[in-house]
């Protein structure tokens, strides 16, 4: 009768929510002996398979070390077992251990093989290209923080079980499968985006710094995410100056750069007037800064007359015949 009562109590213990349903931990107490002494608690447990054994939780569990007491968490996840549950397990296996307080607990973590977002995107890209998609595109998962945790200790082959693609929106929906492929599945969504290479700075530049070819790298990014005024031709950047601080590794917009200043405000400049019959030069003072090709105002040093000219180089301004009299 006592043996029956003990077995009934153990069955109730293992059917509680904290313990895996259907996992038997019925100890053969008659055959295995009495209580185990010097039992200590492992407060942090790392497992690899899908079940938790008595020996994972308690050191000194003796003959019952390999008895399964609960299902393990999913790969890459953790489970917490409180003092009440731990006490029930210790009593069921007639161990001398008791919790020192209600706050005592065990944290069980399960190891995993981490499959990164990039690996999954490459897998989906291969499948879409095999199905006829554009090979110059790139798969972008909708979940930017995506990662997949697979069980360790076995060779789980990850594959694409199903995939559907809408050419008009370039969006797809797919089902990943591994293991037996029945319960181990995960649905993902994303987009097949056209890629483009754009020049970016290899280091941060401050306003006024000149951009050289050696300062540029190339990165690939989705064309749809590129701003309309982004510079895609490196020749439009080389020799230009930064208007403001430009960060490294990011697309550069047309508003981020300007032609380098050839003349500063207040600078003494040479004004040149050229016709078919003559070439006249005189000195003046720039009233505003500018780059090659800009029109600026200059004060004639001899007459103090203000004229307008086009900057042709450092300290050089070309004026039109209409201002000939002003230069004399």
Domains and CATH numbers, the chain: 2-110 (no CATH), 114-194 (no CATH), 195-258 (3.90.1210.10), 261-327 (2.30.30.760)
pLDDT above 90 covers what percent of the chain? 64
Instruction: Report whether 240 contacts 257 (CB < 8 A).
Output: yes
- Confidence (pLDDT) at 55: 95
Nearest to 198 by CA among 215, 214, 221: 221
Using alpha carbons only, give the angle 164, 113, 141 rounded to the nearest 5 degrees: 30
**Structure-token pair, residue 212:** 């050289």
269/322: higher pLDDT: 269
Tens-place pLDDT, residues 78-111: 999 999 999 999 999 999 899 999 999 999 999 9
Rounded Cα distance between 83 and 118, Å, is 41
- Confidence (pLDDT) at 186: 92
Tens-place pLDDT, residues 53-77: 999 999 998 899 999 999 999 999 9
pLDDT-wise least confident of 155-159, 168-172, 173-177, 207-211: 155-159
Instruction: Report the pLDDT averaged over residues 217-231.
Output: 91
Nearest to 86 by CA among 122, 147, 138, 45: 45
Is pTM beyond 0.85? Reply is: no
Strands 268-274 and 316-319: parallel
- Confidence (pLDDT) at 41: 95
Chain centre distance of CA 120: 14
Whether 10 has a pLDDT exceeding 50, the answer reads no
Whether 235 has a pLDDT exceeding 50, the answer reads yes
Strands 58-59 and 68-71: unpaired
Average pLDDT, the chain: 85
Q: Bin 305: left if φ > 0, else alpha if -120 < ψ < 50, else beta.
A: beta
Residue 225 DSSP one-character state:
G
Using N-to-C axis directions, what is the helix angle for 2-14 and 83-92, rounded to 10°? 150
How many other C-beta atoms lie within 10 A of the C-beta of residue 128? 21
- Confidence (pLDDT) at 210: 92
pLDDT-wise least confident of 29-33, 49-53, 297-301: 29-33
How many other C-beta atoms lie within 10 A of the C-beta of residue 102? 10
CB-based burial label for 109 (10 Å; 0-12, 13-18, 19+): middle
- List of residues 6+ apart from 49 with CB closer than 8 A: 72, 151, 153
């Amino acid at each position: 009768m006592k043996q029956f009562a003990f077995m009934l109590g153990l069955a109730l213990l293992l059917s509680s929510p904290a313990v895996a349903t259907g996992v038997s931990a019925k100890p053969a107490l008659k055959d295995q002996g009495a209580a185990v002494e010097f039992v200590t608690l492992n407060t942090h447990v790392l497992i690899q398979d899908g079940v938790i054994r008595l020996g994972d939780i308690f050191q000194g569990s003796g003959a019952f070390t390999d008895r399964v007491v609960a299902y393990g968490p999913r790969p890459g996840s953790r489970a917490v077992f409180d003092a009440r549950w731990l006490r029930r397990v210790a009593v069921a296996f007639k161990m001398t251990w008791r919790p020192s307080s209600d706050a005592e607990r065990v944290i069980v973590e399960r190891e995993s093989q981490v499959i990164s977002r990039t690996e999954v995107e490459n897998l989906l890209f291969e499948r879409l290209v095999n199905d006829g998609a554009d090979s110059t595109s790139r798969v972008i998962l909708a979940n930017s923080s995506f990662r997949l945790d697979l069980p360790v200790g076995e060779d789980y082959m990850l594959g694409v079980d199903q995939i559907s693609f809408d050419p008009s929106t370039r969006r797809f929906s797919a089902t990943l499968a591994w293991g037996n492929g029945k319960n181990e599945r995960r649905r993902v969504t994303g987009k097949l985006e056209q890629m483009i290479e754009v020049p970016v700075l290899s280091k941060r530049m401050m306003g006024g710094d000149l951009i050289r070819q050696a300062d540029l790298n190339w990165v690939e990014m989705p064309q749809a995410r590129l701003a309309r005024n982004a510079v895609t031709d490196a020749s439009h950047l080389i020799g230009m100056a930064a208007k403001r601080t430009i960060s490294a590794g990011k697309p550069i917009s047309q508003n981020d750069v300007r032609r380098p200043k050839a003349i500063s405000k207040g600078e003494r400049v040479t004004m040149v007037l050229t016709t078919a019959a003559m070439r006249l030069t005189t000195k003046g003072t720039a009233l505003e800064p500018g780059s090659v090709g800009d029109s600026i105002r200059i004060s004639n040093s001899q007459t103090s007359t203000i004229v307008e000219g086009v900057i042709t180089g450092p300290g050089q301004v070309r004026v039109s015949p209409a201002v000939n009299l002003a230069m004399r």
